[in-house]
Chain A
Amino acid sequence: MHYMVLCYDSEDVVCAWTKEQEATAMEKLGVVRKKLKAEGKLVSTGRLMPTTAATTLRKGKEAVILDGPFAETKEQLLGYFLLECKSLEDAHACAKELAAASSSAGAFEVRPMLMFSPDGVNP
């Protein structure tokens, strides 16, 4: 079974970290990442840019793209697509294609990634 662990914290606080705090935090986490990798349990990991970098696509007859993160609380996080695109425009085009084929309402938040480690350990 695959499990996805979603990380929540205040980005105000995390963005205010100094370089040293950032390095310490990553180092501490790196130890566990390596351990879980060795146990064959960690698949991949990534870090998202702050929500200020997000745009949101509202599904519907005509998909609308809005600035900012997904902010509704009536809907829940159900899945994800990881895209590799040259530009935000390209990512939006892919998201629109996916939205058109989607059988549900709701929205896609499109958030650029700050870091993606396909094997969970190496950059």
Chain B
Amino acid sequence: MSDVAWMDAALTSSRPRAVATLLRYFRDLDTAEEAYQEACLRALKNWPTNGPPRDPTAWLILVGRNIALDGARRRKRQQELPDDLEADEEDLESRLDESHYRDDVLRLLFVCCHPELPATQQIALALRIVCGLSVTQIARGFVVTEAAMEQRITRAKARIHDADVAFEAPSAPERAERLAAVIAVVYLMFNEGYSATGNGAHVRAVFCDEAIRLARLLLRLFPAEPEVMGLTALLLLQHSRTDARLDGDGQIVLLEDQDRSRWDSKLIAEGLALLDKALRHVQPGPYQIQAAIAATHARARTASETDWRQIDLLYASLERISPSPVITLNRAVAVSKTRGAEAALDLIEPLAGKLSGYFHFFGVRGALLMELGRADEAKRSFDRAIALANNATEAAHIRMQIDRLSLRT
């Protein structure tokens, strides 16, 4: 690997820990970000001549901290700085233990997923501040102009600026609460990338890589949390299908029609290993269960080998832990394979009220009706799905099913 590529990768992977630690020192996002950026510039000048440091993250923190400190001293001679700042220097040199970074990174991510912010802004903020994606990249992913994204991020930052985030080490329940919120945002970030189709799909696929990078980081910081193992396993298993899930025109290919030889076997192996590790704890949670569902698909060499009974059971336990009509809808697909379309339809009909605006509800319902030979009703359901489709690819997919319907009748 070339030096430039190595430096680039080292800077990228250091970013969350470095910005998070700088945030603890200066208690201000902009100062932390600027200090980190300035430190990166110095690294690019310094490392090629002096050789890369043994611990790039610690180097960036130390340099970034001194830069920001100098700046602050220059600006306001009398300004009072957090008093633990000087004491941290020695500790920084021997910062080999990951647990040092644990609460800092968690705090940084938690700041980004402030509950007052809408989900898309939480994701945008995390991508910008924690992952270091450019505003241009994020704007392209969300299909908005750069100016609009810039404004959105500035506004989100302003909103959290005044938010009351505790800087002392969190208590165990606080830590658990923060971790749960952060896991949710990492999953949303992944989905934002994964659900993208058509033109912008390849741009947004970067979000998936960033979410996986964050999940791995969380796993390193919280090595004994089964839900973090579950989250990482889930993302890896879903990501393993990326190449197979869209065809050459960017159209959705259903799981059962995918060419499984195009699934990434390395990601699958790692996902399965992590799930194995999580299950040892016997503390089931929604991410572990979803990972187990993804794993059941991953283990089937062909679609017909899928253990639908197992998937039905897993969805049933997911329903118990976190009841939601969307989960029931997903379970209905498994039920249709084990007990037939009629039973599946019975399961989803009561959801009609709650899911009246949900594209997938009408898609699944249409497919079940189609299977039962109730073509007219199927067509009406598919039409409704098209009206609710989130993008052209989803609509095109449903149209294809309607075409199949008209071939039959």
Instruction: Flag if A52 contacts B13 (CB, 8 Å).
Output: no
CA gap between A112 and B216 in the complex, in Å: 16
List residues 281-333 of chain B with CB under 8 A from any CB of chain A: none
Known A-B contacts A21-B1, A67-B223; A49 and B270 likewise in contact (beta carbons under 8 Å): yes
Among A17, A52, A68, which residue has the most Cβ atoms of chain B within 10 A? Answer: A52
Q: Is B273 an interface residue (CB 8 A)?
A: yes
**B8-20 interface code vs A (CB 8 A; 1 in, 0 out):** 0110111000000
Shortest C-beta distance, A122 to chain B (Å), equals: 15
Shortest C-beta distance, A75 to chain B (Å), equals: 16
Instruction: Flag if B216 contacts A52 (CB, 8 Å).
Output: yes
**B205-225 interface code vs A (CB 8 A; 1 in, 0 out):** 000000001001001100110
Instruction: Flag if A88 contacts B280 (CB, 8 Å).
Output: yes
List residues 65-100 of chain A with CB under 8 A from any CB of chain B: 65-68, 71, 87-89
Q: Which residues of A contact B97 (CB under 8 A)?
A: 71
Shortest C-beta distance, A66 to chain B (Å), equals: 7
Q: Is B269 an interface residue (CB 8 A)?
A: yes
Instruction: Flag if B216 contacts A15 (CB, 8 Å).
Output: yes
Instruction: Flag if A13 contacts B273 (CB, 8 Å).
Output: no
Q: Is A64 an interface residue (CB 8 A)?
A: no
Q: Is A16 an interface residue (CB 8 A)?
A: yes
Known A-B contacts A15-B213, A88-B280; A112 and B220 likewise in contact (beta carbons under 8 Å): no
Among A17, A55, A66, which residue has the most Cβ atoms of chain B within 10 A? Answer: A55
Instruction: Flag if B10 contacts A13 (CB, 8 Å).
Output: yes
Instruction: Flag if A25 contacts B223 (CB, 8 Å).
Output: no
List residues 1-36 of chain B with CB under 8 A from any CB of chain A: 1, 5-6, 9-10, 12-14
Q: Is B274 an interface residue (CB 8 A)?
A: yes
Nearest chain B residue, comparing its CB with the CB of A53: B273
Instruction: Flag if B13 contacts A50 (CB, 8 Å).
Output: no
Q: Is B266 an interface residue (CB 8 A)?
A: yes
Q: Is A62 an interface residue (CB 8 A)?
A: no
Q: Which residues of B contact A21 (CB under 8 A)?
A: 1, 5
Q: Which residues of B contact A89 (CB under 8 A)?
A: 276, 280
Q: Which residues of A contact B223 (CB under 8 A)?
A: 52, 67-68
Instruction: Flag if B273 contacts A68 (CB, 8 Å).
Output: no
Instruction: Flag if B270 contacts A50 (CB, 8 Å).
Output: yes
Q: Is the interface of B mostly helix, strand, loop or mixed?
A: helix
Known A-B contacts A15-B216, A114-B269; A55 and B277 likewise in contact (beta carbons under 8 Å): yes
Q: Which residues of A contact B197 (CB under 8 A)?
A: none
List residues 193-238 of chain B with CB under 8 A from any CB of chain A: 213, 216, 219-220, 223-224, 232
Q: Which residues of B contact A10 (CB under 8 A)?
A: 10, 13
A interface residues, tally (CB under 8 Å): 25
Instruction: Flag if A13 contacts B232 (CB, 8 Å).
Output: no
Nearest chain B residue, comparing its CB with the CB of A115: B266
Known A-B contacts A21-B5, A68-B223; A52 and B232 likewise in contact (beta carbons under 8 Å): yes
Among A12, A16, A51, A88, which residue has the most Cβ atoms of chain B within 10 A? Answer: A12
Instruction: Flag if A25 contacts B270 (CB, 8 Å).
Output: no
CA gap between A71 and B242 in the complex, in Å: 34
Instruction: Flag if A112 contacts B269 (CB, 8 Å).
Output: yes
Q: CB within 8 A of B220: which of A16, A52, A115? A: A52
Instruction: Flag if A13 contacts B219 (CB, 8 Å).
Output: no
Nearest chain B residue, comparing its CB with the CB of A18: B209
Instruction: Flag if A88 contacts B273 (CB, 8 Å).
Output: yes
Instruction: Flag if B9 contacts A88 (CB, 8 Å).
Output: no
CA gap between A110 and B5 in the complex, in Å: 31
Q: Which residues of A contact B220 (CB under 8 A)?
A: 51-52
Shortest C-beta distance, A45 to chain B (Å), equals: 15
Shortest C-beta distance, B313 to chain A (Å), equals: 19
Instruction: Flag if B276 contacts A12 (CB, 8 Å).
Output: no
CA gap between A53 and B219 in the complex, in Å: 9
CA gap between A88 and B280 in the complex, in Å: 9
Known A-B contacts A52-B223, A114-B269; A25 and B276 likewise in contact (beta carbons under 8 Å): no
CA gap between A55 and B10 in the complex, in Å: 26
Nearest chain B residue, comparing its CB with the CB of A91: B276
What would 16 more interface pairs be, CB under 8 Å, given A52-B232, A53-B277? Answer: A12-B10, A12-B14, A13-B9, A15-B213, A15-B216, A16-B9, A16-B213, A49-B269, A49-B270, A50-B216, A52-B216, A52-B219, A52-B223, A55-B277, A87-B276, A89-B280
Q: Can you name 28 A-B residue pairings with CB atoms under 8 Å?
A: A10-B10, A10-B13, A12-B9, A12-B13, A13-B10, A13-B13, A15-B213, A16-B12, A17-B9, A21-B1, A21-B5, A25-B1, A49-B273, A50-B270, A52-B216, A53-B270, A55-B277, A55-B280, A67-B224, A67-B277, A71-B97, A88-B273, A88-B276, A89-B276, A112-B269, A114-B269, A114-B270, A115-B266
In order of increasing CB-CB distance, the 5 nearest A-B pairs are A12-B13, A68-B223, A88-B276, A112-B273, A67-B224
